[in-house]
Structure 1
Amino acid sequence: MISIIIPVYNVEEYIKECLDSLLMQTYKDLQILIVDDGSTDKTMDIVKDYEDKFEDFTILYQKNQGVSVARNTAFDYIKGEYTIYIDPDDFLELDMLENMYNRAEKVNVDIVISEYYVYYDEKDSRNYIEKYMIDPRRIYNNYEVMNLMLNYELQGQLWNKFFRTELLKQIEFKFEPHRYIQDAFPVFKAIHLSKGIAFIDKPLYYYRQRATSTVHKKNAKLAEDYYFAMSSIINYIEDKNIKVDKKSLNIFRIKVLSHFIAHYTNAHEENNLKSFKESKYNELSVKNKDFLFLNEISKDDKLKLFLWNCGLYPVLKKIKNR
């Protein structure tokens, strides 16, 4: 059995497509766990229409507390040998779960990861496939995949990752409440403690892009939560003395700072290098010599970081946005 956890909140426009893609899966032994996070639109009216269409379909209710709490609520109800978390505005290829299950069973790994579609609309020219530079025939160890994450060659989101439930139970796979970015650190921890990871080199999941999505918001909390998630990974590596590749960890620090600068300067117009240095975020700082000669860092990131270290980035950003 595969347990599927879906937190829902005001997604009446998308939830039917999501549930239809589950209903038509070629793999049928499913446990559906819906957690209503206090929806106020017609989402739950649509969800209830599916109760009799699945063999094992459970709806859990909570006051609006966010996606992390919703996922944590569902955790104690998991019955399947494998678990996958999906977002209610996304949908799956109809053979996704069969492919994931068969791969996990065949090579006896704790995690299977697939490629995915970045999806705007059916005929939108911006649609593309997120591909990984991996060998799909191989079984990867935890250190190899942690280094992929540190090199930003693998993202930390949940929904394209298929977990052995025993692993999740062993590590108490829970999410930090009330955070916009809550999955990267638990996923990194699961990868570290896994006994093997396999990949499927074809896209099986449609990751929908919405302008109103949480990850597209521009505010101070998003900057804070990004910092919390990424620093949690760095602190975990250091606290556990995990022997990841030093160059990969350096690349991670550099790219984290580059991404953080965008969140930080978007959050408040007055945010600049001076306020950054006076804050806890200063621990993310990197020196010019750490990135200028690294081929793995893009020219755009190098320019952004160089301007940031010179105190010029916020000024030039304001000029550009006029």
Structure 2
Amino acid sequence: MALKETVTVVVTIFNVEKYLNESLNSLKKQTYKEFEVIMIDDASTDNSYRIAEKYLTDKRFKLFKNTVNKGLSGTRNRGIELATGKYIFYFDPDDLLPINLFELLVNEIKLSQSDLLCFNYLKFSDEFPQNVTSIVKKKEFNQIETIKLLLSKKLTPAPWAYLTYLDILKENKLIRFPEGKNFEDITYI
């Protein structure tokens, strides 16, 4: 049996005690077991850090703490530096994952031979769920086409809707989340 390739999941944590248990449980239940979770607490002032500590009994979960608030971009950038897997995936602690998501994503990125894989998601709130489907399906596009798709909202700029190879980021230090700027997701994608 061939070894499975590890997905690094970067979880940025800041004052999310209300959602954290449920979201981390959705990670823990993945059918694809070859993953590491880099949890980074961004100087939370609630019980988020203590909740995250409970997951350290699972060797795939690692917890780090920013002593000062670095914001989403700075924390995700730190996650890139700490990551060791073949793939990288960003996970917000108010999100939930289907239990077979990593299995599907790893199979699809290998099959498609893509550098970056975008996938559909279900957006929900207290009022109602909303299925968000990308208009672009199984298509390769260059930087100009990508920018046009992002600006036309046919492609989401949210990094948690993508899987990519970690070595692309490790080899290209310019691909990072810009710190102290608005719309950092668009710049990164």
Q: State the TM-score, normalizing by the size of structure 2.
A: 0.89
Q: Secondary structure at 2:181's aligned position in 1?
A: coil
Name the residue aligned to 1:36.
41
Q: Is the 8 A contact 1:60 1:74 kept in 2?
A: no
Q: Does 1:141 align with 2:144?
A: no
Q: Is the 8 A contact 1:16 1:46 kept in 2?
A: yes
The Cα RMSD (Å) is 1.5
Equivalence map 1:92-171=2 (5 Å): 92-121=97-126, 124=127, 126-135=128-137, 138-143=138-143, 144-171=145-172
Q: Would you tell me which structure has more helix in proportion to its own residues?
A: 1
Q: Which whole-Å CA distance do the structure 1 matches of 2:47 and 2:131 have between them?
A: 32
Name the residue aligned to 1:198.
none
Q: Which whole-Å CA distance do the structure 1 matches of 2:182 and 2:22 have between them?
A: 24
Q: Secondary structure at 2:74's aligned position in 1?
A: helix
Task: Select the residue among 148, 169, 188 that pairs with 1:186.
Answer: 188
Q: Which whole-Å CA distance do the structure 2 matches of 1:8 and 1:165 have between them?
A: 21
Equivalence map 1:1-322=2 (5 Å): 1-53=6-58, 55-62=59-66, 63-121=68-126, 124=127, 126-135=128-137, 138-143=138-143, 144-172=145-173, 173-187=175-189
Q: Is the 8 A contact 1:111 1:164 kept in 2?
A: yes
Deviation string for 1:49-87 (max 9, x for gaps)? Answer: 11112x322211111121111111222111111001111
Q: Which has the higher contact order (CA 8 A, sep 6+)?
A: 2
Q: Which whole-Å CA distance do the structure 2 matches of 1:147 and 1:40 have between them?
A: 39
One-letter amino acid of the counterpart of residue 60, structure 1: F
Deviation at 1:152, TM superposition (A): 2.1
Deviation at 1:170, TM superposition (A): 2.7
Q: Which whole-Å CA distance do the structure 2 matches of 1:42 and 1:60 have between them?
A: 15
Q: Which whole-Å CA distance do the structure 2 matches of 1:147 and 1:65 have between them?
A: 30
Deviation at 1:107, TM superposition (A): 2.0
Name the residue aligned to 2:3.
none
One-letter amino acid of the counterpart of residue 132, structure 1: S
One-letter amino acid of the counterpart of residue 141, structure 1: F
Deviation string for 1:136-161 (max 9, x for gaps)? Answer: xx341325434322322112111011
Q: Which whole-Å CA distance do the structure 2 matches of 1:180 and 1:42 have between them?
A: 27
Deviation string for 1:11-35 (max 9, x for gaps)? Answer: 0000111100000011111111011
Structure 1 alignment gaps of length 5 or more: 188-322
Q: Which whole-Å CA distance do the structure 2 matches of 1:185 and 1:30 have between them?
A: 26
Q: Which whole-Å CA distance do the structure 2 matches of 1:75 and 1:134 have between them?
A: 27
Deviation string for 1:159-192 (max 9, x for gaps)? Answer: 01111112222322311223343111110xxxxx
Q: Is the 8 A contact 1:5 1:33 kept in 2?
A: yes
Q: Secondary structure at 1:6's aligned position in 2?
A: strand
Q: Which whole-Å CA distance do the structure 2 matches of 1:179 and 1:139 have between them?
A: 30
Q: Is the 8 A contact 2:136 2:154 kept in 1?
A: no
Q: Which whole-Å CA distance do the structure 1 matches of 2:184 and 2:57 have between them?
A: 32
Indicate how the Cα distance of structure 1 residues 114 and 88 shifts in structure 2: closer, same or farther if over 3 A, else same. same
Q: Is the 8 A contact 2:135 2:155 kept in 1?
A: no
One-letter amino acid of the counterpart of residue 100, structure 1: L
Structure 2 alignment gaps of length 5 or more: 1-5
Q: Is the 8 A contact 2:80 2:169 kept in 1?
A: no
Q: Which whole-Å CA distance do the structure 2 matches of 1:176 and 1:151 have between them?
A: 22
